[in-house]
A = this chain, B = another copy of it.
């Protein structure tokens, strides 16, 4: 089982933003710090803003800031938002896929329960629990620059 890079990178961004929840971060700054594509992070930030996890400000001194306190944003909620539209298996897709047994499947409900167990476990953690330390941010930055 895999999470998308969209979710993987989005979580890294939010962990960094949670280390300094009072200031705005630009996607360029986060892309440089983690050595990731600015274009990709911009799309992720747009999803996070649309989902109400971050607030964005345009112009000088602009950027994105957590919309709520880190301890009030659950990791599970973030993963649900970033994984939106990802089908665990073919029949979970909006199109329903082409599985010939979809109509009489006794596995489907069990897969839903397992996915819920995964997300419920993540609901036990918040961005406050997984925030990077400022020093970690600097260390990460150094790694990228060397």
Residues of A in contact with B (beta carbons under 8 Å apart): 1-5, 7-8, 11-12, 15, 33-35, 75, 79, 83, 86-90, 98-101, 103-107, 110-111, 113-122, 124-125, 129-133, 136, 139-141, 143-144
- Residues from chain B with a CB closer than 8 A to the CB of A125 are 107, 110
- Residues from chain B with a CB closer than 8 A to the CB of A124 are 110
Q: List 6 A-B contacts (CB under 8 A).
A: A8-B90, A34-B99, A100-B144, A101-B132, A106-B131, A114-B118
CA separation between A139 and B5, bound complex, in Å?
38
Also in contact, A130 and B110, with CB within 8 A (given A34-B101, A86-B2, A101-B15): yes
- Do A139 and B34 touch (CB < 8 A)? no
Main secondary structure of the interface of A (DSSP, over half): helix
- Do A115 and B114 touch (CB < 8 A)? no
Also in contact, A3 and B89, with CB within 8 A (given A98-B35, A101-B12, A114-B121): yes
How many identical chains are in the complex? 2
> Which of A107, A111, A113, A140 gathers the greatest number of chain B CB atoms within 10 Å?
A107
Also in contact, A117 and B115, with CB within 8 A (given A2-B1, A34-B100, A129-B106): no
The 8 Å CB contact of A121, one of B99, B113, B129, B132, is: B113
User: What is the CB-to-nearest-CB distance from A88 to chain B, in angstroms, rounded to a whole number?
Assistant: 6
- Residues from chain B with a CB closer than 8 A to the CB of A7 are 89
Nearest B residue (CB) for A123: B114
